[in-house]
Amino acid sequence: MQVEVMISAEDIAKRVRELGEEITRDYDSKDLVVVGILKGAVVFMSDLIRVITVPLEVDFMATSSYGLSTQTSGVVQLLKDLDTSIEDRDVLIVEDIIDTGLTLSYLNQLLHSRKPASIKTAVLLDKPDRRQTEFVPDYVGFVIPDRFVIGYGLDVEHKFRGLPYIGVVNN
């Protein structure tokens, strides 16, 4: 398998710092809970929370709409729920990529029902050409074309998450 670099590790680090600074300004004096969506968002979230300078709590959720496929089934399943209450707290959902928007739309509705003070979303990658919902993330690292990408948390068949860059698979 050949992998072409789409976004370098240096460009990712620079953009994550910028996002962290923006989120820090927006959440000054707030009760922030950062919710990472497993497994893909772990790398992005780890780097992001290290550059956010306001106090925060971390929690995780896990969903599935892909299984082992590279195409979404269109049905979002909740595999792991939050361990903490978010009522009256400010929630930032951190996701690796938004394409169809189905997962983030589902999570946004689910978490809104738990009465948080606010909910925003941060995504490393946005593929607007694949959107099936009206969902728009609040913080976006990079807008990318409709290509299958791996690295920096994103995988193919559970592999390549550890690449320090975003790559495109060329078969």
Domain ranges of the chain: 9-146
Q: What is the pLDDT of residues 34-87, one digit of tens each?
A: 999 999 999 999 999 999 999 999 999 999 875 544 555 567 889 999 999 999
Share of the chain above pLDDT 90, in %: 86
CATH of 9-146, one of 2.40.50.140, 3.40.50.2020, 3.30.365.10, 3.40.50.300: 3.40.50.2020
Half-sphere exposure of 1 (CA within 13 A, CB side): 11
Q: Which of 24-33, 64-73, 159-168 has the lowest mean pLDDT?
A: 64-73
Q: Give the list of residues 6+ apart from residue 4 with CB closer than 8 angstroms, or none.
A: 167, 168, 170
Sort 15 into a burial class: Cβ within 10 Å, 0-12 / 13-18 / 19+.
Answer: middle
Q: Which carries the bigger pLDDT value, residue 171 or residue 31?
A: 31
The answer to whether residue 23 scores a pLDDT higher than 80 is: yes
Whole-number pLDDT of residue 74? 66
pTM of the predicted protein model: 0.93
Q: Which residues contact residue 18 at a Cβ distance below 8 angstroms, ignoring those fewer than 6 apart? A: none
pLDDT at position 69, please?
A: 47
Q: Is the pLDDT of residue 9 over 90?
A: yes
So which residues are the catalytic ones?
A: 99
